[in-house]
Amino acid sequence: MNQKIVLIVEDDYALRSVLEARLRLAGLVVFCAKNADTGLKVALENHPDLILLDFVMPGDSGLDFLSELRQSGDWGKSASVVFLTSMEDPKIAEHGAQFGVTEYIVKSDWKLEMVVDKVLSVLGG
């Protein structure tokens, strides 16, 4: 069985670390990046099955990342992405939908197990 790969692109170290540890416990291979630029490089090198992407980060935003990802070739056009956001704003969902993002998690509402369940659900497991 091939292990599923998840990439976490999140500037908050504590959140990134907790998510990484818990997703590894769930049997996933996890890569992490603290900004969009590094995240894009990691994504294009490793072709993760799912990208958990912070919407607001210093420097390039989640939308900047998505725009470049979707223009990067066949894999990037259809890569599965879930937004992580601190804002409950319908415009985030609208912007994400323009780039094929159908799921997003509001950080203030999340519980760790809910995020893991969402990731596993999106991955088909």
- Write out pLDDT tens, residues 86-108: 766 667 667 777 777 767 777 77
Report in angstroms the alpha-carbon separations of 5 from 69, 84, 91, 95.
17, 17, 28, 25
Sign of the C-alpha dihedral computed for residues 57, 58, 63 and 66 taken in this order = negative
- Write out pLDDT tens, residues 58-94: 888 888 999 999 999 889 998 999 888 776 666 766 7
Q: What distance in Å separates the CA atoms of residue 22 and residue 17, rounded to the nearest whole number?
A: 9
All domains of the chain in start order, with CATH: 5-119 (3.40.50.2300)
Q: What is the four-CA torsion angle of 61, 125, 4, 10, rounded to 10 degrees?
A: 20
Query: Which pLDDT value is given to residue 25?
Result: 95
Q: What is the DSSP letter of 1?
A: -
Please give the model's pTM, rounded to 2 decimal places. 0.90
